[in-house]
Amino acid sequence: MIQRILAGYGAIDIGQEKIFIACSGEEAVRSFGTFSAELELAADHLVQRGIRRVAMEATGVYWIPLHDLLEKKGIEVTVFNGAHARNMPGRKSDVQDCQWHAMLHSHGLLVSCFIPSEEIRQLRCYYRLREDHLSIATEHIQHMQRALDLMNVRLHVVLSQLHGVSGLRVIKAILAGERDPVALSALCDCQILKRKRAEVIQSLQGHWQEHHLFALGQALESYEFCLRQMVACDRQIEALLQRITKDQPPQTPAPGQKVKVVRHNAPQIEGLHRFLITMTGGCDATQLPGISPLGFMKLIAEIGTDLRKWQTAKHFTSWLGLSPGSSQSGKRRKRLARKKTVAGQIFREAVLSLAKSKHLALGAAYRRYQGEKGQSRRHGRHCPQAGRPLLQPLHQGLELCGRRRPPLRRKIPSANTPLLGKDRKSLRLPPRSGTCFPLRFFGSEAGAGGRWKLTADAGVFSTLRYKKEWPEPASISKLRAIRKRREDLHRMVAVPVIRRRVFGD
């Protein structure tokens, strides 16, 4: 196996205490420590042996210091997923692993992981640290709710957000010694008092206990500390964005374009949207539905601004973990679990905002698939549809935005439709013209051979099946009433005739 390693290639197996290096030209595997001085010796060893390409397994975060060091030495580093390069059974050891990986890498059988540039990695570090502070702050909000529950103070049941302006005012007043429910309710916003003043007063009547008040104060201090840490991260991100965009031509939003507002946990960075479009050369991903400036910053921190490493949009959505995998052997097919990526989660959150949109084609497709497949599978279906358009504005320099759904006109049956029978003239319907499509109306076929007139494109008419979203046309309601009346008349006339013929009544 060792003789099959081509010249100029090597591999490193990284551990917590030692690293093992196998390279072409020598049979023995060298081991080094993981301290900084030992890593310097390992890098010099590779340079002396003429190794220009090295592969290493992505093991936790142990590979990052060595990766940065080898890049400075001018060595091309390939970081790969260890699950994609398993050895034969019974040959698992650190020494044999690095030899096996060196052989695979020398023959081009290892796929490199995506690693962005140094500036993007710094932005990713700050942004992920900010997300960690945000998640910890969420836990402290739960601690405040638990302390209030133990005192039977149900303020968080009445208010939608305990950590809002009104909620924090009341909590600080409670910690300051105020116990009167009326005085505490006066600290809430006027809109809250206008709608549910009595409920707020009743929720502030509790059993005040010293140890639970102490826990409430600790949770509030920890929550505010996390918020201050988030602000410090915002300052570092702003300084980094200024350094990155210093030598780039400034970009501004398109004339008449409204910058999306981040409602919750917005970063305190002045001109964030301007920094981001300057980094991407004027390509604004916030024009895509569901992507806010905060989401745009997250995407840049995860995937960078150069997306040419993905050949097509399908490769991109597959890397995001949004496209389904395939595992087929003969007639046996197995469903593979989709991998969870941080960048893919950003698009999953964007799909939630698409569900509430009323004028976007992706929102209509989302609701249509929700009606077909149910609540559990709708996110996975439309995450790829939300992720694919991002590749074109950043990769090809195009400005794309979500297509707006064309306005739907009222759909009425044609006068030549055989479904109407003798009553079609009474409805005063226009003659049929243009192209017609067979349409499922409210989940059932529109009669044998029945066709409805469609004035919009074929991709939109299927949304008519949702009764909650689109009201039933007046002509259809009238047709149903005529049918019901005909059935009632048939029962009133036919049943007595049958009784007379059968029983002689």
Q: Which of 91, 113, 135 is the last residue of a domain?
A: 113
Phi-psi region of 77 (alpha: psi -120 to 50; beta: other; left: phi over 0): beta
The answer, yes or no, to whether residue 188 has pLDDT greater than 80, is yes
Using the structure block, give the residue that is written with the tokens 């504005």: 393
Judge whether 239 lies within some domain: no
**What is the DSSP annotation of 282-333?**
T--GGGSTT--HHHHHHHHHHH-S--TTSSSHHHHHHHHT-SPP--EETTEE
What would the pLDDT profile of 219-263 be if each residue is shown by its tens digit?
Answer: 999 999 999 999 999 999 999 999 999 988 988 888 888 888 888
Q: Is residue 402 part of a domain?
A: no
pLDDT tens per residue across span 320-370: 888 877 777 777 777 777 778 888 888 888 887 777 777 777 777 777 777
Same domain, 421 and 475: yes
**In a shared domain, residues 279 and 315:** yes
Task: Say whether both 414 and 390 belong to one domain.
Answer: no
Question: For residue 18, what pLDDT is reported?
Answer: 92
Residues 176 and 267 in one domain: no
Distance between CA atoms of residues 63 and 67, nearest Å: 6
Alpha-carbon distance values, 123 to 95, 189, 234, 284 (Å): 36, 37, 11, 18
Domain presence at residue 237: no
What is the average per-residue pLDDT within 187-209? 92
Domain's final residue, options 341, 368, 395: 395
164 and 256 inside one domain: no
| 138 pLDDT more than 90 | yes
On average, the pLDDT of the chain sits at 77
Domain shared by 253 and 391, yes or no:
yes
Q: Which residue has the higher pLDDT, 390 or 174?
A: 174
Same domain, 101 and 182: no
Residues 390 and 263 in one domain: yes
% of the chain exceeding 90 in pLDDT? 39
State whether 254 and 385 are in the same domain.
yes
Print the SS3 string covering 372-436. HHCCCCHHHHHHHHHHHHHHHHHHCCCCCCCCECCCCCCCCECCCCCCCHHHHCCCCCCCCCCCE
In a domain, residue 49? The reply is yes
Please tell me whether residues 26 and 48 are part of one structural domain: yes
Domain with residue 98: its CATH number is 3.30.420.10
| pLDDT attached to residue 411 | 43
Tell the burial category of 69 from Cβ atoms under 10 Å away from its Cβ (0-12, 13-18, 19+). Answer: middle
Cβ contacts of 345-348, under 8 Å, gap ≥ 24: 346/295, 346/298, 346/299, 346/302, 347/290, 347/320, 347/322, 347/383, 347/386, 347/387, 348/322, 348/379, 348/383
Nearest to 323 by CA among 386, 403, 278: 386
- Structural domains of the chain, count: 4
Range of the domain at 83: 2-113
259-310: pLDDT as tens digits: 888 888 899 999 899 999 999 888 888 888 888 899 999 999 999 888 888 8
pLDDT at 44: 93
Residue 35 has pLDDT above 60, yes or no: yes
For residue 375, the model assigns a pLDDT of 57
pLDDT at 348 (0 to 100): 84
Q: How many angstroms separate the CA atoms of 360 and 377, rounded?
A: 20
Better pLDDT: 8 or 463: 8
What does the DSSP 8-state code read for residue 466? -
In a domain, 405, yes or no: no
Residue where one domain finishes, among candidates 57, 86, 113: 113
What pLDDT is stored for residue 126 in this prediction? 96
Considering the domain architecture, whether residues 250 and 387 belong to the same structural domain is answered as yes
pLDDT one-digit tens code per residue, 321-330? 888 777 777 7
Residue 240 is assigned to a structural domain of this protein: no
14 shares its domain with 96: yes
Is the residue at 390 inside a domain?
yes
371, part of any domain: yes
